[in-house]
Structure 1
Amino acid sequence: MNRSVRKGLWAVLTAGTLIMGVGACGGDDGPSDGNPSPDGGTTPDAGTKLPAEEGRALAVSNGGLVVVGSTEANLATTGVDLLVRRYTASGEVDTSFGTQGSVVLDFEGPAQGPISGQREQDDRADTVAVLADGSILVAGFARGGSASDSRDFAVVKLRPDGQLDTSFNKTGRSRLHFGEENAVNFVGTVRSILPLAGGRFYVGGFLTKSDGLDEDFALIRYNADGSLDTTFKSAGSPTGSWIGGAYTDAESVQGMVLQGSSVVLGGGDHFAAVRITSSGSQDLTFGTSGIAKSEDGQAHALVARPNGGLLLAGSRQDVKVGGEMHGVLKLVAYTADGKPDVTFGPAGVRELTAPAGVLDVVDVSGLRIQADGKILVFADVYAKPVLFRLQANGDLDTSFGTDGMVRWPETQVAVPLFIRSTTGPKLAILGDRAFVTDSNIYSPGFFPDENSRLLLKSTGL
């Protein structure tokens, strides 16, 4: 997406035009119809078909687990709706949260412009953050028009009990529309939230034209009250935002790391990362001319390393191993300034091509570094969830599981992060904790003793 196009993106967007929904409740963004995965239905225990639900992200809340995603519970009336659910530490639905454990939100059609032939539009949460006071930020997209697949940034703030926090944008929710009034030709999705001191926060994701030919980093800074932070400015981008250039074919903010007052964004093609100052400008001293890249592959996660550097995890497809083409797990380490960290591997890169069980990785949806420096990567290996543990230098930790991997049976859905409505075991990975439903295959030897463990016993999401 070139700069001349980008300058018109928010021609009508100012702090005063932050749109609120008024309903009841890589960056590959999944199926273009906005619905959850077609295999995302549940198999009920007692013959009653449960609504299809999809978990997209999770965080610890109130001693339990809060999961966000989407639900088809009201499909006939409001389409696919944003869903937040909390579980207790014992794995039961926390009925003190929201309405009997869940919050369902509908943003009711586009923020501006025509409905485009569909009465209700689909909404989904893709990321969640729990703040120090227990309140919960949830973000993703609100569909802006079915004919063009337009999507707006959607952000919701809940109190610890799951009720909408009406101090946030007066209703507890906000919707950010891209383009001119009545335009439904931009796709925007939030993939990451980064809270700041004093209540402000960043949301990061991607922005593209509805044709999907190019995805650009998108970073927005909000005040605690839900208004855009107008002190955050970047040449060529609307106030309150930084919209990146076409650095690769596709960039999506899959993770953010604070460095002092600046923030590093990473994700998408070629393991791209950039650093943005607190004023909103791109730091051109970072990486090479302002961007760190490692050719080939796509990054799905970013974390800070204990030495101050950065680690991205993802996959590279069509790698020839043993005479056949495979997808392989790829990790890229950068220094704090975006240079290849050659202490991690040649050009800062490690690719796992052996043993054979590590091959055919097609997606990575979880990345954490344990206190001991070991690396956990959760990935989809052709519909089979796999948790890898690696040494700090990128070698597989063969003391973990089998050859450094813990595997679960086929799930019939594509990962990511991963409480899913499936016909098989349901699994979530958060840091170095495992959450398993429906099949007690947890082994305490897989995880350090000091970390908590949950067996989720409920069906559904």
Structure 2
Amino acid sequence: MLYGPIAALALIGAPAAPGDLDPTFGSAGKVSTDFERRFDEGRAMAIQPDGRIVVAGEMIRTVNPQDPPQTGDRNFAVVRYLANGMLDPSFGVGGRVFTDFGQDFELAFDMALQPDGKIVAAGESGTRTAGGNFDFAVARYNADGSLDTSFSGDGRATIDFGGDDDAARSVTLQTDGKIVVAGYSGNQSDEASYDFAVARYNTNGSLDTSFSGGGTVKTDFAGGADSAFAVAAQPNGRILVAGSATGPDPEGDFGVVRYRTDGSLDGSFGSGGKVFTDFGGGYDEIDALALRPDGTFIAAGGSGISEDPAPGGAFALARYLPNGKLDNAFGSYGKVETEFTSGLDQAFGLALQADGKIIAAGVADQFINPIGRGDFALVRYQVNGSLDSSFGTNGKVTTDFEGAFDNARDVAIQRDGKIVVAGEGTHPDTTSRDIAVVRYIAR
């Protein structure tokens, strides 16, 4: 039997290593939150200056208790946690808020924190009935989780771009407080009709008419299907919007557009304000952007994405110079691909550490049908794009919740350097999903 300091060391075990779960957060580093034990998903996350963690996504409200968990009315969902992973009782009801726009299918894809503590969530609102119409949807919340009625009258705003399938997929704040939302607009019956769609709001929720004349702009790359999933506001006021664009590769490439502050295309970027990046075959898309202090920026998403007949795909990152050209000092001629499995691996979140290292978070071995599966997946790269061997196993970490479908959607870095990842995790009953948050040791 061991006594004294030796026994204490035995109980403590080996010191935590970079990439390990943080045992001081939630239950052994993980937290799951459900609304009605149906399908709840975290899509975006941000960390407040006081260390509280805000996650936005969707929850499904019960219409008929006998229906399967994935059926019911979908609503915006926002959850706030204390720094230790406990739900914050000062936010909403027991740390949770849901918002209805009056339709049956509404979800938040992204969120942003204002300096005054207010929370902006952006996504879509529509109906699943035949011929249903989907619009951009934006909600702003006060710090306590209540809707901010100084924004668009009741805290909610929607935009119809003219298509029957419009969705806001990303939101960012300009230094002047204006809100920029980006996504796509198109008609479900015509795949080629989809274009990048961007809107800019004044701080009161009205459209900013100094942006492209009416507050909105649509951009087509080359006549095919184009969809934006990420937006970033540069310090000089120019706006980067990124996603997947059809051009030289008919299956879809990384696509990036840069707009001037007035909403016009920035001709000094790429070719006429647009950039394509092909990873060598298959469908490629950007899901996250990160700006670097030197004016370069990193895009992360997936390359070679396919679901049928067999799932496939890899984490894909590209670093661009300020003029839109690939930065050859990063990876292989500006590009990096990372695989976890032979299945569908894809990055959805991106964050930069204070030392410049890059964190990409997403899903490993995703396969939706017939039985959902996948794990949280995290990669840390050196500044030059090489894998950081000091993190996890050769730079990679996976985290499983209950053995079924788990998917990391966003990542952020705390002031102390710890890494927080949010997404969706399988509920212990294995028939439904919860909003899931994980915290990892960084050093």
Q: Could you state the TM-score of these two structures normalised by the residue count of structure 2?
A: 0.75
Measured in 1, the distance between the counterparts of 2:37 and 2:285 equals 35
1:249 aligns with 2:260: no
Could you tell me which residue of structure 2 aligns to residue 362 of structure 1?
Answer: 345
Question: How far off is 1:287 after superposition?
Answer: 0.7
Contact 1:300 1:363 in 2 (8 A): no
Could you tell me which residue of structure 2 aligns to residue 295 of structure 1?
Answer: 278
Aligned length: 364
Residue identity matched to 1:192: S
Could you tell me which residue of structure 2 aligns to residue 58 of structure 1?
Answer: 45
What is the CA RMSD across the aligned residues, in angstroms?
Answer: 2.8
Q: In structure 2, do the counterparts of structure 1 residues 421 and 389 end up closer, same or farther at CA, with 3 Å as the change threshold? A: closer
Aligned partner of 2:60 among 64, 72, 96: 72
Contact 1:148 1:210 in 2 (8 A): no
Aligned partner of 2:185 among 188, 194, 207: 207
Q: In structure 2, do the counterparts of structure 1 residues 407 and 230 end up closer, same or farther at CA, with 3 Å as the change threshold? A: same
Contact 1:363 1:415 in 2 (8 A): no
Residue identity matched to 1:193: V
Compare 263-272 and 342-351 and name the one that shifted more.
342-351
Could you tell me which residue of structure 2 aligns to residue 403 of structure 1?
Answer: 394
Matched position secondary structure for 1:70: strand
Compare 210-219 and 163-172 and name the one that shifted more.
210-219
Q: Equivalences for 1:267-346 in 2 at 5 Å?
A: 267-268=243-244, 269-296=252-279, 297-317=284-304, 327-346=313-332
Measured in 1, the distance between the counterparts of 2:168 and 2:113 equals 16
Q: In structure 2, do the counterparts of structure 1 residues 206 and 398 end up closer, same or farther at CA, with 3 Å as the change threshold? A: same
Compare 245-254 and 168-177 and name the one that shifted more.
245-254
| 1:183-229 residue CA offsets vs partner (Å, 9 max, x unmatched) | xx521111211112333111111112123613321110100110000
Q: In structure 2, do the counterparts of structure 1 residues 325 and 243 end up closer, same or farther at CA, with 3 Å as the change threshold? A: closer
Residue identity matched to 1:415: N
Q: In structure 2, do the counterparts of structure 1 residues 72 and 253 end up closer, same or farther at CA, with 3 Å as the change threshold? A: closer
Q: Equivalences for 1:114-125 in 2 at 5 Å?
A: 121-125=104-108
Could you tell me which residue of structure 1 aligns to residue 79 of structure 2?
Answer: 85
1:155 aligns with 2:155: no
Could you tell me which residue of structure 1 aligns to residue 164 of structure 2?
Answer: 186
Measured in 2, the distance between the counterparts of 1:107 and 1:325 equals 35
1:375 aligns with 2:358: yes
Aligned partner of 1:231 among 194, 210, 215: 210
Greater per-residue strand proportion: 2
Contact 1:257 1:303 in 2 (8 A): no
Measured in 1, the distance between the counterparts of 2:203 and 2:400 equals 43
Q: In structure 2, do the counterparts of structure 1 residues 145 and 309 end up closer, same or farther at CA, with 3 Å as the change threshold? A: same
Question: How far off is 1:335 after superposition?
Answer: 0.4
Measured in 1, the distance between the counterparts of 2:305 and 2:92 equals 45
Contact 2:110 2:122 in 1 (8 A): yes
Measured in 2, the distance between the counterparts of 1:402 and 1:426 equals 27
Contact 2:314 2:346 in 1 (8 A): no
Aligned partner of 1:129 among 87, 105, 112: 112
Measured in 2, the distance between the counterparts of 1:154 and 1:59 equals 19
Aligned partner of 1:173 among 156, 162, 170: 156
Q: Could you state the TM-score of these two structures normalised by the residue count of structure 1?
A: 0.72
1:222 aligns with 2:204: no
Measured in 2, the distance between the counterparts of 1:426 and 1:156 equals 22
Could you tell me which residue of structure 2 aligns to residue 420 of structure 1?
Answer: 424
Contact 1:71 1:81 in 2 (8 A): yes
Measured in 2, the distance between the counterparts of 1:350 and 1:341 equals 11
| 1:75-97 residue CA offsets vs partner (Å, 9 max, x unmatched) | 34971221111111221211211
Could you tell me which residue of structure 1 aligns to residue 27 of structure 2?
Answer: none
Q: In structure 2, do the counterparts of structure 1 residues 210 and 307 end up closer, same or farther at CA, with 3 Å as the change threshold? A: same
Contact 2:123 2:167 in 1 (8 A): yes
Measured in 1, the distance between the counterparts of 2:154 and 2:375 equals 40
Residue identity matched to 2:316: K
Measured in 2, the distance between the counterparts of 1:396 and 1:280 equals 37
Residue identity matched to 1:146: T
Contact 2:243 2:285 in 1 (8 A): yes
Contact 2:119 2:140 in 1 (8 A): yes
Matched position secondary structure for 1:286: coil
* Structure 2 residues without counterparts, runs of 5 or longer: 1-31, 66-71, 245-251, 366-373, 410-421
* Structure 1 residues without counterparts, runs of 5 or longer: 1-41, 110-120, 180-184, 436-441, 449-461
Measured in 1, the distance between the counterparts of 2:314 and 2:147 equals 42
Aligned partner of 2:383 among 382, 392, 412: 392
Contact 1:123 1:143 in 2 (8 A): yes
Q: Equivalences for 1:430-441 in 2 at 5 Å?
A: 434-435=438-439
Contact 2:406 2:424 in 1 (8 A): no
Q: In structure 2, do the counterparts of structure 1 residues 83 and 43 end up closer, same or farther at CA, with 3 Å as the change threshold? A: closer
Question: How far off is 1:55 after superposition?
Answer: 1.2
Matched position secondary structure for 1:59: strand
| 1:223-277 residue CA offsets vs partner (Å, 9 max, x unmatched) | 011000011116xxxx111111144533213232414021111122411111101
Could you tell me which residue of structure 2 aligns to residue 265 of structure 1?
Answer: 241
Question: How far off is 1:404 after superposition?
Answer: 0.9
Question: How far off is 1:392 after superposition?
Answer: 0.9
Matched position secondary structure for 2:407: coil
Contact 2:352 2:358 in 1 (8 A): yes
| 1:32-89 residue CA offsets vs partner (Å, 9 max, x unmatched) | xxxxxxxxxx999xxx972331111111235311111111234349712211111112
| 1:390-413 residue CA offsets vs partner (Å, 9 max, x unmatched) | 111111111111111111126522
